[in-house]
């Protein structure tokens, strides 16, 4: 995979933006699936204000033109064919973790989009589902 990091507007994307694409030669040789993965994330502090969330969503590609399906309060997703025999799955979500000893909370915003050939849609689903699960699946994660 060839991944590029773009810090973007540091007031909006504290953790930055990543765009990864499969190297064409590796896809042709059968070493990698023809995958494109994009990630945008923001660390907010104890919580993400409406202003921070709105600013973050303004830099998310296609956010205003996408039909999002709500999944449990803090998560939305969209999935489907995007032409040329490709399948795309995207998710946007808010999550937080809390220190067990101090009770201090850290909140984040995340947007991820995976695009693959339609016959490999399970790969896009696995990537996005894993990111959902690893960010607490709508629970506040307690950490030491």
The residues near 25 (Cβ < 8 Å, ≥ 6 apart) are none
Mean pLDDT of 92-102: 86
Only one residue has tokens 């830099």, namely 59
Q: What is the pLDDT of residues 63-92, one digit of tens each?
A: 888 899 988 778 999 999 998 899 999 999
Cβ atoms of 104 and 133 closer than 8 Å: no
The residues near 94 (Cβ < 8 Å, ≥ 6 apart) are 48, 53, 74, 75, 107, 108, 109, 110
Distances in Å between the Cα of 73 and the Cα atoms of 67, 100, 129, 131 are 16, 24, 16, 17
Q: Where are any strands of DSSP class E within 14-133?
A: 16-21, 36-45, 69-71, 75-83, 86-99, 105-117
What is the model's pLDDT at position 5?
79
What is the model's pLDDT at position 139?
54
Spell out the domain ranges in the chain.
2-143
- Among residues 122, 101, 110, which one has the least CA distance to residue 14? 110
């Amino acid at each position: 995979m060839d991944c590029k990091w773009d810090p973007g507007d540091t007031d909006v994307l504290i953790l930055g933006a990543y765009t990864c694409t499969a190297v064409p030669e590796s896809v042709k040789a059968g070493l990698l699936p023809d995958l494109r993965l994009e990630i945008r994330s923001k660390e907010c502090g104890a919580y993400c204000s409406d202003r921070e969330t709105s600013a973050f969503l303004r830099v998310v590609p296609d956010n205003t033109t996408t039909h999002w399906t709500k999944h449990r309060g803090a998560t939305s997703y969209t999935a489907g064919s995007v032409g040329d025999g490709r399948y795309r799955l995207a998710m946007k979500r808010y999550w937080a973790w809390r220190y067990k000893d101090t009770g201090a909370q850290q909140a984040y915003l995340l947007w991820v989009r995976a695009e693959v050939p339609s016959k490999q849609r399970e790969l896009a689903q696995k990537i996005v589902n894993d990111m959902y699960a690893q960010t607490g699946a709508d629970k506040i994660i307690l950490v030491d």
